[in-house]
Amino acid sequence: MTTAAPTVVRVKQKQIAQLIAKGKRLDGRGLNDYREIKIEQGIIEKAEGSARVLLGETEVMVGVKIEIGEPFPDTPNEGVLTVNAELVPLASPTFEPGPPDENAIELARVVDRGIRESKAIDLEKLCIVPGKKVFVLFVDIYVLNHDGNLIDASALAAMAALMNTKVFNHEVENGEVKIKPGFTPLPIRRHPVAVTFAKINDKLVVDPWLEEEQIMDARLTITTDDDGNVCAVQKGGSGCFTLKQVLEAVQIAREKASEIRKKLGW
């Protein structure tokens, strides 16, 4: 995600590329291995849902807040899902304070697409008064430490936080919404998992860490749902892919996503 590759990494570029040609990586992983994934849920009591994901040293926190608002005119019977990402300055020397830049916006939109297009949440169940009042879900991605592959870490954290989200019980009286005691879990239907590849010297590696990202030619993210259907794809970076590489990536992404789902019990 960082645009300025520090010179230090450029010196290592050859070494990283040579290792990858032999099917090895600088941190000892195989080309298709993920770093260790750790997930904690419900860590922010004041949020309706929250999770923290560690992907190696990459750390992402997601908080879900729920408000009552108006539906979009073209989907009067559905709740609203909004995803936002903040590349918090404490996470990397290359992140600066200010409104979300193109990297933060792309990150949020790729995560959003995975959740939305897989229909992970039953948004119709979040309708209170059709056309007037619905629950609005704010999914805020907070990157706390950037060690590469923010997309996969954020997508996992967003899903983990949504699975942890509780919607307050309510009833409608004369068009007024009354909050009742107790909570209901968010209606989750699917578990989309994003798998990101970096292309380095014409080879694909899964889950690139920071140094690999800094020297990669291009990036490809493939999000699949529980049935192995493709629901979101995003190419990034200033390089290109062949058709063969893309199709190979889809196959690996399906396998990796199902492994991750199994490991997490999703």
- The Cα 246–Cα 237 span in angstroms is 15
Q: Which of 71, 241, 257, 260 binds another protein (CB under 8 A)?
A: 241
Query: Which of these segments, 27-35, 160-168, 201-209, 230-238, binds another protein (CB under 8 A)?
Result: 230-238
Binding-site string for another protein from residue 117 to residue 146, where x marks contact by CB under 8 A and - marks none: xxx---------------------------
Angle at 259 between CA 149 and CA 188, to 5 degrees: 85
- The Cα 125–Cα 185 span in angstroms is 11
Q: Which residues neighbour 183 within 8 Å (Cβ) at sequence distance 6 or greater?
A: 166, 167, 168, 169
Q: Which of 234, 256, 260, 266 binds another protein (CB under 8 A)?
A: 234
Q: Which of 42, 69, 187, 237 binds another protein (CB under 8 A)?
A: 237
Taking the complex as a whole, the smallest distance from the CB of residue 1 to another protein amounts, in Å, to 11
Q: Which of 231, 257, 260, 266 binds another protein (CB under 8 A)?
A: 231
Q: With the C-alpha atoms ordered 8, 101, 36, 262, is the resulting torsion angle positive or negative?
A: negative
Contacting another protein within 153-172 (CB under 8 A): none
- The Cα 20–Cα 53 span in angstroms is 27
Q: Which of 126, 232, 257, 260 binds another protein (CB under 8 A)?
A: 232
**Residue 87, H or E segment:** strand 80-87
Paired tokens of 96? 């600066």
Based on CB atoms, which residue is closest to another protein, 51 or 123? Answer: 123
User: Is 9 within 8 Å of 211 (Cβ atoms)?
Assistant: yes
Q: Which of 45, 74, 96, 173 binds another protein (CB under 8 A)?
A: 74
Q: Which of 109, 166, 170, 261 binds another protein (CB under 8 A)?
A: 109
The candidate with the shortest Cα–Cα distance to 151, out of 189, 205, 190, 207, is: 207
Based on CB atoms, which residue is closest to another protein, 54 or 81? Answer: 81
* Interface with another protein (CB under 8 A): 74, 102, 105-106, 108-109, 113, 116-119, 218, 220, 225, 228-243, 246-247, 250-251, 254
